[in-house]
Chain A
Amino acid sequence: MTESNLRDYRDATLRAVSPNFTAKVFAGIGVDRYTNCSSAIGDVYVAWSTPGVSAVRLAGDERTFEAWYGERFGRRAVPAIEDDPISEAARAKLRGEDVTVPIDLRDCSPFEQRVLHTAAEIHRGNARPYRWLAREIGAPDATRAVGNALGQNPVPLLIPCHRVIRTDCSVGGYVFGSEAKRTLLEGEGLDLGAVENVIGHGFRYIGHEEGYFCLPTCGDIATRVNTTGYFGLRSIEDAHAHGLSPCGTCRPIAA
Chain B
Amino acid sequence: MPAACAVAEPDANAMLAEALAHDVDRAFEDVVIAFRQPIVTFVARMLRDDARAEDVAQEVFVRAYRALHGYTAERRAELRLRSWLLAIAHNLTRNAVRDAPPASDSLEFDDGTPRAGLTDGQPGPEVVVLRAEAWQSVGDAVAQLSPALRPAFVMRYVDDLSYDEIAETLGQPVGTVKASAHRGLLAVRAQLEMNDD
By a beta-carbon cutoff of 8 Å, the part of chain A in contact with chain B is: 1, 3-18, 21-22, 24-26, 28-29, 31, 33, 76, 78-82
In-complex Cβ contact of B118 among A11, A18, A81 (8 A): A11
Known: A3-B1, A76-B25, A78-B26. A15 touches B37 (CB 8 A): yes
Known: A6-B138, A8-B134, A13-B45. A21 touches B54 (CB 8 A): yes
Kindly report which residue of chain B lies nearest to residue A82, judged by CB atoms. Answer: B33
Once A28-B62, A78-B25 are accepted as A-B contacts, the answer to whether A14 and B41 lie under 8 Å apart by CB is yes
Residues 113 to 135 of chain B near chain A (Cβ within 8 Å): 114-115, 117-119, 131-132, 134-135
Cβ of B9 under 8 Å from chain A: no
- From residue 13 to 52 of chain B, which have CB atoms closer than 8 A to chain A? 25-26, 28-30, 32-33, 36-37, 40-41, 44-45, 50
**Cβ–Cβ contact A18 & B29, under 8 A:** no
A5 to B135, CA, bound (A): 5
Nearest to B41 among chain A residues (CB) is: A15
For A17, A28, A80, the residue with the greatest tally of chain B CB atoms inside 10 Å of its CB is A17
A1-B58 contact given A15-B44, A78-B26, CB 8 Å threshold: no
Given the interface pairs A16-B118, A21-B58, A31-B25, the reply to whether A10 lies near B32 with Cβ below 8 Å is no
* Residue pair B40, A21 in contact (C-beta under 8 Å): yes
Min C-beta distance of A202 to chain B, whole Å: 58
Give chain B's interface residues, CB within 8 Å of chain A. Answer: 1, 4, 25-26, 28-30, 32-33, 36-37, 40-41, 44-45, 50, 53-54, 57-59, 61-62, 65-66, 114-115, 117-119, 131-132, 134-139, 142, 157-159, 188-189, 192
Contacts across chains A and B counted by CB atoms under 8 Å: 107
For the complex of A and B, 5 pairs with smallest distance between CB atoms? A11-B117, A8-B135, A28-B62, A9-B138, A9-B135
Q: Are A79 and B62 in contact (CB under 8 A)?
A: no
Is A82 a contact of B29 with CB atoms below 8 Å? Answer: yes
The CA-CA distance from A82 to B29 in the complex, in Å, is 8
* Distance of A82 Cα from B24 Cα, bound (Å): 17
Other CB < 8 Å A-B pairs besides A9-B135, A13-B41, A22-B29, 5 of them? A14-B37, A26-B29, A80-B29, A81-B29, A82-B29
A76 nearest in chain B by CB position: B25
Chain B positions within 8 Å of A9 at CB level: 135, 138-139, 142, 158
Contact of A17 among B36, B62, B192 (CB under 8 A): B36
Distance (Å) between the CB of B125 and the closest chain A CB? Answer: 14
* Pairs A–B under 8 Å by Cβ, sample size 25: A3-B1, A8-B138, A9-B138, A10-B4, A12-B117, A13-B44, A13-B45, A14-B41, A15-B37, A15-B40, A15-B53, A16-B118, A17-B36, A17-B40, A22-B33, A24-B58, A25-B32, A25-B58, A25-B62, A28-B65, A29-B61, A76-B25, A78-B26, A82-B29, A82-B33
B59's nearest neighbour on chain A, judged by CB, is: A28
Cα-based distance from A180 to B158 in the complex (angstroms): 58
A1–B33 touching, CB < 8 Å: no
Question: Given contacts A12-B135, A16-B118, is CB(A7)–CB(B1) below 8 Å?
Answer: yes
| Docked pose: A80 CA to B26 CA in angstroms | 8
CA distance A76 to B25 in the complex (A): 8
CB distance from B130 to the nearest CB of A (A): 11
Q: Which B residues are CB-close (under 8 A) to A31?
A: 25, 28
Tell me if A5 and B137 are in contact (CB < 8 A): yes
CB-defined contacts of A11 to chain B, threshold 8 Å: 117-119, 135
The answer to whether B54 touches A18, judged by C-beta atoms less than 8 angstroms apart, is yes
Indicate if the CB atoms of B37 and A17 lie closer than 8 Å: yes
Kindly list chain A residues whose C-beta atoms are within 8 Å of the C-beta of B188: 1
Which residues on A sit within 8 Å (CB–CB) of B37? 14-17
Which residues does chain B contribute within 8 Å of A14, judged by CB atoms?
A: 4, 37, 41, 117-119
